[in-house]
Amino acid sequence: MASTAQAIRMALHYGEKHLGLKDVFGQDVGAPLGGVFTATQGLKTAWNSPLDERGIIGMAMGIAMAGDRCVAEIQFADYIFNTIDLLKIAGNTLWCTNGQMQLPMVVMTPVGAGIFGSVYHSHSFDAWASRLPGWKIVMPSNPLDAYGLMLAAIQDPNPVLYLKSKALMRHKGDELIPGEPADEKELKAMIDKPVQNPDGWKPRWPDLQEYIVPIGKGKITRSGEHITVVTYSRMVHLCDEAADKLREEGISVEVIDLRSIYPYDWQMIKSSIEKTGRVLFVNEDTEVTNFGEHLAYRATQECFYQLMARPRVVAGKNLPGIGLHPNLEKNSVPQLHDIEIAIREVVAEVP
């Protein structure tokens, strides 16, 4: 099975070949590195930019305004904050031009903790991203969704933020990407640049097929009756693990992987809450002005009379930064035991 990095690489290749993708660029995106996580390795259209986040976003906007499709990468989301004003302008462009100018651009960047990257390589961007009008924001939790959401993002006529979990880039899926060889060693030999004797290497791409994950469509990864857990990206795996463990204790947990945080699948969330009567929102961004707080507010407003307990949010602690030592990181962002405790507490609460 492909890793998330391989899935993104194959999606970008498919975009080059079939979807009119003309430029993939950013710091170290082109040869020889192919991105810090190798997600752009071997691509024909990949090229290296200067270390200039504002320049990268400005270039992407110019390419898109000229009518071409591009994917720009900010090497880590921790360094995207100085581009906020440009991201705002990109999101406003269609509206400001009265629908006359579309921006078919994708900005992808690795987000979140899990790699013990300390202050400058461990932070999330989803709450900030959710406040950028005019952008769609996707956050895949597995390689197949990473492939399908990238194809959807490339085809979208307007800006899409593609937030990929740093900790999931080496994660292997349990479903084949259409056209991917079943033998992962064969895939590696085809598309991974060899560490030894790489001179003259070129990828041998599999015969990849179109697979689209619609932006704004969630997925139920565990069905349950007692509580709804809404999450995305890396936290999906922890929530699934918690659901499997608690099932043995007689607690039935329904887990929803949003896949997109804007637009998001409110109807799926609402229907699940109406069934279970309880809801927990889980993500690793900081807890103050967290995207999960918006979802909890909406759940309270629209599902108040169906709720059997107050909605809860499990998120990262509101700290200035995440420390380098593993204990500091693990105590800064949600862990499996935090999710289990919260689920038990919400299920135990009675009106």
**Residues belonging to the active site:** 121
CA separation for the pair 59, 301 (Å, rounded)? 41
CA separation for the pair 164, 109 (Å, rounded)? 6
Residues 6 or more apart whose Cβ sits within 8 Å of residue 38? 5, 9, 192, 193
Closest CA to 340 of 322, 314, 305, 318: 314
CA angle 15–18–21, rounded 5-degree value: 40
**What is the secondary structure of 313-335 as a DSSP string?**
EEEE---S---SSHHHHHTTS--
**CB 242, CB 252: distance < 8 Å:** no
Give residue 238's Cα distance to chain centre: 15
User: Which tokens hold the place of 73?
Assistant: 């990468």
Instruction: State the CB neighbour count (10 A cutoff) for residue 235.
Output: 28
Instruction: Please give the order of strands across the beta sheet that includes 105-111.
Output: 46-48, 21-26, 69-73, 105-111, 160-165, 136-138, 260-262
User: Which tokens hold the place of 348?
Assistant: 């135990």
Closest CA to 50 of 27, 31, 20: 27
Cis status, amide bond into 206, omega within 30 of 0: no
Closest CA to 306 of 269, 343, 278: 278
**Helix runs in the chain, H state only:** 4-18, 53-65, 84-96, 126-129, 143-155, 184-191, 235-247, 266-276, 291-303, 326-330, 336-348
